Amino acid sequence: MSEKRKGSTSKSRRGHRPGESVRILIPNARVRQRLKQLAREIRRDFPNEPLHLIGVLKGSVFFLADLARELGGEVSFDFLSVSSYGKGIDSTGEVKLIKDLDVSIEGRSVLVVEDILDTGLTLKYLLRFFEEKKPKHLRVVVLLDKVERRIADVRADYTGFTIPNEFVVGYGLDYDERYRNLPDVCVLQFGSRARVKSE
Ligand code: PRP
């Protein structure tokens, strides 16, 4: 492989379309380093406890996979899927369950794994949903927290990074189902600003 190709971040590799461009916000190496710290924090709080991770599809898949491997000890996982709509300022905050859990969480130490905490409406719904199922412990870990967008009064127990109010993609996060496969957390830019950057 040539030197040029080795360091390539070509358009086809990043997969963006005309009028869109991405810039790295948090490089993958920094994400992985932070995950080690988060895993240590979590294991400090739950040293010998089997942890049941619940990933919220689809954005959390890489985060859960990488965090699970850093956690050590007994770990199991499950996934659920919700759809939220009307996320604008006039949002009703209505959240709908698309895929339920496969196994009961009663009496288990549960760690909800979310890629991003934005308005907090999804997490508010999820916490109520999980609490009704009587877990022994219920904690939340989020990779990214857009604090300034918060509407619901919720917080994560463990947070990877607090980020500004920008449209982020990559490392599981999408725009129209694209960009999830970017290794880094990136900012997606649209329009003429994007065209200049992508040339
Ligand atoms: C994202 C994220 C959270 C939710 C957070 O999911 O995974 O579930 O949005 O937003 P909120 O705090 O404003 O409620 P998204 O709906 O983008 O689905 P995805 O994970 O399948 O991409």
The whole-model pTM stands at: 0.88
Q: What are 41-80's pLDDT values in tens digits?
A: 999 999 999 999 999 999 999 999 999 999 999 999 999 9
Side by side, the strands of the sheet bearing 51-57 are 95-99, 75-84, 51-57, 109-117, 137-145, 158-162
> Could you confirm whether 118 is annotated as catalytic?
yes
Could you tell me the distance, in angstroms and rounded to a whole number, from the CA of residue 9 to the centre of ligand 1?
27
Residue 156 CA to residue 76 CA, distance in Å, equals 20
Residue of the CA atom closest to atom 10 of ligand 1 = 118
Residue in 60, 80, 84, 141 to alter for ligand 1 test, most ligand atoms within 8 A of Cβ: 84
Taking the CA of residue 117 as reference, the ligand 1 atom at the shortest distance is 12
Residue 85 CA to residue 82 CA, distance in Å, equals 10
Residue 130 CA to residue 112 CA, distance in Å, equals 9
In this prediction, residue 92 has a pLDDT band, given cuts at 50, 70 and 90, of low
Ligand 1 within 6 A of CB of 20: no
Q: What are 2-43's pLDDT values in tens digits?
A: 333 333 345 556 677 888 899 999 999 999 999 999 999 999
